[in-house]
């Protein structure tokens, strides 16, 4: 069993928290201290950077 806190980000769609910009997509909470919440569509660059940080080094 894995915890949600060990993932790259936590999907907040079950809380019905929507993006303030597009009002369409559910927000996600990034893992890590002080990372905050972002919209996966409006802030796709930040999300890709977060996902890249979790990849193992070559």
Summarize pLDDT for 9-58 with one digit per residue, the tens. Answer: 888 989 988 999 999 999 999 988 888 999 999 999 999 998 888 777 66
Task: Enter the pTM of the model.
Answer: 0.74
Dihedral angle computed from the Cα positions of residues 36, 39, 40 and 45, in that order, rounded to the nearest 10 degrees? -70
Cβ atoms of 43 and 30 closer than 8 Å = no
Hey, what are 20's tokens?
Answer: 């303030």
Hey, what are 31's tokens?
Answer: 């893992």
Q: Which residue has the higher pLDDT, 17 or 2?
A: 17
Domain ranges of the chain: 1-40
């Amino acid at each position: 069993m894995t915890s949600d806190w060990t993932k790259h980000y936590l999907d907040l769609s079950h809380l019905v928290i929507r993006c303030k910009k597009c009002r369409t997509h559910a927000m996600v909470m990034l893992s890590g201290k002080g990372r905050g919440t972002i919209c996966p569509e409006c802030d796709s660059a930040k999300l890709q950077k977060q996902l890249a940080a979790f990849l193992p080094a070559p």
